[in-house]
Structure 1
């Protein structure tokens, strides 16, 4: 239980760490210095971990990992969406 709580707290902190980048993109509407390739690689890695997290959650273990990984996946998808939206402006 203790490690599940640690996983949740750590995962939320890691996911919230993307908020300053997202806020900066929305304020400036600029993604000129961001690498789409890097974010796509992160998306691939997180997607693979998501498959693993789902398999853990199905067996009754790893629900905290699934929750925090899904949050990270959503945040990275949001950054990629913003890059695609603002890269031609």
Structure 2
């Protein structure tokens, strides 16, 4: 049986992750007309509690699933083909 604090901790992290995702969405909306702005997204991964009681992220420890999600980072959504073409057409400085 899980303790009450695990549920509270999962709820807290879920709210924080949702707030971060909303912040990124707001940034994307407010900068949508800015030339050169690249849309961003939050990377979300599964989390588990390791033997030293630190929250870890994982994609391979499926037996430990069910302990919530955690934000891994923020990535820019870019088209690699367009980036490559831009870099090829821009002279080196």
**Normalised by the size of structure 2, how large is the TM-score?**
0.43
Point out the structure with the larger helix share: 1
Point out the structure with the larger strand share: 2
* Higher-Rg member (1/2): 2
Pick 1 or 2: higher relative contact order, CA cutoff 8 A, min separation 6.
Answer: 1
